[in-house]
Structure 1
Amino acid sequence: MKNTLLFLALTLPTFAFDITVADKDHVAVANGGKVVAKLMMANDLSTPEKHHETYKPYMHVFSADGSTRLTKGAGFNFTHHRGIFLGFSKIGYNGKSYDRWHMKKGDQVVTKVTPSENTFTAHIDWQGDTTAPFLTEERRFSFTTPAKPFYLGIEMNSAIKAISGEADMNGDPEHAGAQFRPSELVDTKSTTYVFPGENIDAHKVKDLPWAAEIFTTEGKTFTVVILNHPDNPKDTATSAYRDYGRFGMFPKGKATAEAPFKLRYQWLIAEGNVRDAAVFQSAWNAFAGKSEPVPSLTIKASEQPKPKAKK
């Protein structure tokens, strides 16, 4: 009965969100007058420093009262890690390889934003050798107020098309896919990950329905779960082990003009330390339209990155 009630609660209509577009700068998403998410979409070429800060769009997430920024922006450790973001470090296209994770020699540029109720779509050019795109994307974000303990749901639907021919979307679990990066103020000693199933090794397992992270920033603890929709590409890896908290899903696939590379994920945000298998599984069942049973849990402390070998 508990699982059924959770499932029903997660499918109830959401509260209305206020979406405000500041042209060529950001999209603010407010609930009850408090900004809970903000898509950063400037592309400022005025100086090298400004360009570095604005070479790709990403989404900041805030606490329910708007007072705490949960996510990281430009700079600090691993500057390319920024909020909720999407990228691929090895994109094969017309005999060349493009890195649209670190944004080497090309940007992701938002060209238009189309808002609607509780939703907006960012139209994004993925630049090639010049400022002209070799890929175009429609990245739609939808916002919900889920059942407790979560205070915010962010769903991302992405459709990436090649301008012509075929693009091979690839990389590796730590440098490609849909990711969430906590604030630069994250307490690296307490970051913890939660997975469905016994003895799960995130370095090896594929196609997890969800993964959760518990982290602390500015003295407050939050839980974030990423839900992997069953329509996403199979053989998806889960990268969820770093102490600084960058985690997410890494799919691979092809993109053409006629057959876009499509991805669908949802992030649920809660304040506090949540380790409830029934809550996580009910959330995924509601998202996926399934009725899978509650699994056992694997709970693991985070890992530090291995030092690079000296040349």
Structure 2
Amino acid sequence: MTINGTADPWITRNILSEDFEGRWMKEWTTEDGITAGGLDTWGTTLYRKHAGDKSAYCAGSDGGVVLFEDFDEGGFLPADWSVSSHAVYTYPWAVKNTGYQGCGGTDYLVATRSDRGVGFNNTELLYTSGPANASSFENLTLSFYVEYDYKDGDEHLKVLYADAKTYPNWTVLDTYSADTLGYQSYDLSAMDGEDKVYLGFEYHGTDDGYATIDDVLLGGDKVDHDTQMRADMYIATGDMTGLTSVNLTYEHWIDSEDDVDELHAMYRTSASSPWQTLTDHSGAGKKWTSVSVSVPVNATHIGFRFTSDDANVS
């Protein structure tokens, strides 16, 4: 998404550019306009990514997202994630943005390692201490990005899950005992309908190896849909003094009920003024589409609103 302006004598200026890859939620404001149906908001996800790794995404809980974590909020572990060590020698999971594939700049992941050589064994657990609520979901799947550097012996990286009845005892979903790199996906329908789903990753190292995890996504099909939702995200345009024209360009992907569920591009002229619609989109386009629309030069904020009465995504 970009905002460009033109000033006499036909000088073009880039006002704002956003690819939704980094810590964009520090700059943008997100709001849930109708709270009766539960939390509906914009976030970042791998779902329907465009040119990069991620896209801004809105569907509320109806969109099939139970839990998503990309660890990109900057150098610290999210509040609902925890770590623990289970050996004499320790190297706890920690948020990193250097030293591993798949990270850098504002793109973070979590990593652990065993780097003291043979005999310095460690076992590190990363897990969701704040459980995900999947009570309204079925056909659950778990996906994530992993880089695992296996050395030898009984080293492993385990994928774990539990529910309210078994936690803190874990069920092993898979065990890696060979080098692994890339996105992995698993059937987790065993947790369909559970109101408390815990996820975990256990690394056991005996030599100079490591493991990283990123982009953890627990998704499924929503059984009970919100009756109505309205979710906004917006940002200040910055100084547009002297501009004679302003243009907003963005890519969008939508799957919705025509003329009932809509994605709106909008603007306002002050922090307290009502939002005005620039253009809207509806229907089941199901493909990325480029849009360019003129914005009034007195706009102080631009934003996007998704309104829906069912399980549609934008």
Same fold (TM over 0.5): no
**Rg bigger for which structure?**
2
TM-score, normalization by structure 2: 0.28
Which of 1 and 2 has higher RCO (CA within 8 Å, sep 6+)? 2
Q: 1 or 2, which has the higher strand percentage?
A: 2
TM-score, normalization by structure 1: 0.29
